Amino acid sequence: MPIASDIEQAFSEGGAISSAVEGYRPRRLQIEMAEAVHEAVIGNEVLVIEAGTGTGKTFAYLVPALLSGGKIIVSTGTKTLQDQLYTRDIPTVLKALGISMQVALLKGRANYICHYHLERTLAEGRLPSREDAAYLGIIRHYSGRSGDKSDLPAVPDDASIWPLVTSTRENCLGSDCPKYKECYVMEARRSAMQADLVVVNHHLFFADVMLKDEGVAELLPACNTVIFDEAHQLPEVASLFLGESVGTSQLIDLARDARVEAAISAKDFQALPEASAKLEKAAKDLRLSILESDSRLPYSALDRDFFDSVDRLTKNLEALSALLENQAERSEGLSNCMERAVELAGRIGKWLKDESGEYIRWVEVYSQALQLNMTPMSIAKLFASQIEGRTRSWIFTSATLAMGGNFSHYLDQMGLENAKTRAFDSPFDYSSQALLYVPESMPEPNSRAHTEAVVQSSIPLIRAAGGRTFLLFTSLKAMRFAHESLKTGFEKEGLDFPILIQGEGAKNAMLERFRQMGNAVLLGSHSFWEGVDVRGEALSLVVIDKLPFAPPDDPVLSARIERINRGGGNAFMEFQLPHAVLTLKQGAGRLIRSETDRGVLMICDTRIVDKAYGKRIWRSLPPMRRSRKLDEALRFLEACKA
């Protein structure tokens, strides 16, 4: 077990990290954070750390964890960071410290080719498109060499062939699979079991641990330290996996799989494909019972037509389940379909009948699918139960976990009553590197005129910045409107800066185009508020359309607000405001990514100045200079180009 001096030495001038990382300079805050992690690791404590941009938090938690010699799980918010840790950061620190350690990268099932489903799809020969047929040939040729689909860039990540050649928790045959010994998922999990350090992501962590799947749940008993990077995402991810859901896509997949398995193992039993077809139709009819698309509806808003459709769906599912039970002994595939049918019927029944008040029942409607959801009213007790009674250290870290140094909102959400907390400010000189600009007059943020005013107010600054701008919006609708308005505005002003908009391509590819162009304007919504790193001259202006308060008509948020207020609390101050502040901090964090970056953060919502709670918001942001004068913002941007 390392002592504090080992940590100090590793980060010192001429120390292990300095010798291995070109351009490294010791940072007091990084050393202090590493020492705090070290104390938590040796004391098996729960530690929550907010580390501002530039602190160097990745090395600050890796060094003490690796020196401890115990088994470690690092969970990240994104696959991008997961890959960065595995391919770059961890090897760098291990080499610097002179440590030999087995490291594994563990992904979810959908990232690995399934031999069984690949062969079944090849045998069936029915594919959605010619493009899928071509992709299938590539996958078949490649599947004998490596099972990780990320190693096969020739087939796009979102290609419709992937669900046909990968497994899900529901349709995996487990140890009964004839291809079990060759299974890539099992191979990855065996490697993880043998490794000293395993890198996962939050979705996999919660999916496996909460569903008691084989994977992370198997790793935890032998684990000494769990580290959550990008820990601000945990409340949302945990809510997803601590609840339950059932969707029309799962039901249609079941119907398809039952039909295929019947064709292979029960050709003489025509009732099975007929029942499968009826279930598929009932699932599609359920989606059509709601006219809206891309909406989230509370249980109380659903009408009789919807519940009649659910009733027909349930009857068809039960009929298929009975037929599958009758034929289950004929193959493992049919037996698996029977088990899935019983489980899905149980979930639908629970969704219909639950009145405990501990869960929020709601429906999410997509363009082609619909999902019944049960979300916990609070995840605190459920998550706390995962920590209690386990002798290990738990480290939670992110750039945005506290509001003005106060962690209570995050701790309450996660049930971390006894956690220690530390906050390390960014080492950047925000007072000279950045200006916070709030226009003097803007329409009300919920008015129709607001988005147009955001665009018109931004154009002079975009001109002064020479492009090099992010425009971040709280809704896709506002982003799309602004895109059209900005194109018109550029034409009128004679500006020819390239305009990129979220959705035109993969996120990472868009960011690379933005960097290479050097004068582009990028419009983004939720996915561009965090996890986006553009350093240097390519980005000098970040415009945020409004304070990111979650929409009050969201069924989950609405139910949680009602519960807090009913209990005598103030949901706005206790829940909505802290949530908005943490989200705003993520968006604002896109601007200054290094010691040499300079730029303007423009927030087009005067509530940050006019409302009594506004002071709490801007005080939670990095300590930038503040101005409401356009000419001051323009001068600052001109100076950034000098």
Which range, 113-117, 121-125, 483-487, has the best average confidence (pLDDT)?
483-487
How confident is residue 292, by pLDDT bands cut at 50, 70 and 90? confident
Q: How far is CA 383 from the centre of its chain?
A: 18
What is the residue whose two structure tokens read 């002994």?
A: 329
Distances (CA, A) of 5 to 8, 18, 34: 5, 16, 11
pLDDT value of residue 551: 84
Nearest 10 degrees: Cα torsion 440, 441, 447, 453: -90
Residues contacting residue 564 through CB under 8 Å, at least 6 positions apart: 570, 571, 574, 575
**How far apart are the C-alpha atoms of 253 and 369, rounded to whole Å?**
12
pLDDT value of residue 212: 59
DSSP lists the bridge partners of residue 423 as: 50
Query: Quick one: average pLDDT of 64-84?
Result: 90
DSSP structural state of residue 221: G
pLDDT value of residue 79: 79
Is pLDDT above 80 for 1?
no
Who wins on pLDDT, 110 or 465?
465
Question: Measuring CA to CA, which residue among 42, 70, 48, 57 is closest to residue 11?
Answer: 57
**How far apart are the C-alpha atoms of 448 and 63, rounded to whole Å?**
51
Residue 326 has which token pair? 């009758």
What is the residue whose two structure tokens read 């489980």?
A: 343
pLDDT value of residue 73: 94
Indicate the CATH number for domain 430-641.
Answer: 3.40.50.300
Provide the CATH topology of domain 242-376. Fumarase C; Chain B, domain 1 (1.10.275)
Would you give the end-to-end CA distance of the chain in angstroms?
A: 51
pLDDT value of residue 501: 95
How confident is residue 586, by pLDDT bands cut at 50, 70 and 90? very high
Q: Is 134 exposed, middle or buried (0-12, 13-18, 19+ CB in 10 A)?
A: middle
How confident is residue 140, by pLDDT bands cut at 50, 70 and 90? confident
pLDDT value of residue 613: 94
Q: Which CATH class is domain 4-108+186-235+378-424?
A: alpha beta
What is the arrangement of strands in the sheet containing 541-544, beginning at the earlier edge strand? 499-501, 521-524, 469-472, 541-544, 599-603, 434-437, 625-627
pLDDT value of residue 349: 96
Q: What are the sequence ranges of the domains in the chain? A: 4-108+186-235+378-424, 113-166, 242-376, 430-641
- CA triple 450-452-458, angle to 5 deg: 100
Is pLDDT above 90 for 221?
no
Who wins on pLDDT, 59 or 240?
59
Assess whether the region 242-376 and the region 430-641 belong to the same CATH fold.
Answer: no
> Tens digit of pLDDT for each residue in 146-185?
688 878 878 887 788 888 899 888 788 888 888 888 899 8
> Tens digit of pLDDT for each residue in 436-487?
999 998 999 999 899 999 999 999 999 999 999 999 999 999 999 999 999 9
Do the strands 521-524 and 499-501 form a parallel or antiparallel pair, or are they unpaired? parallel
Question: Three-state DSSP class for 223?
Answer: coil
How confident is residue 294, by pLDDT bands cut at 50, 70 and 90? confident
Is pLDDT above 70 for 522?
yes
**How far apart are the C-alpha atoms of 107 and 199, rounded to whole Å?**
9
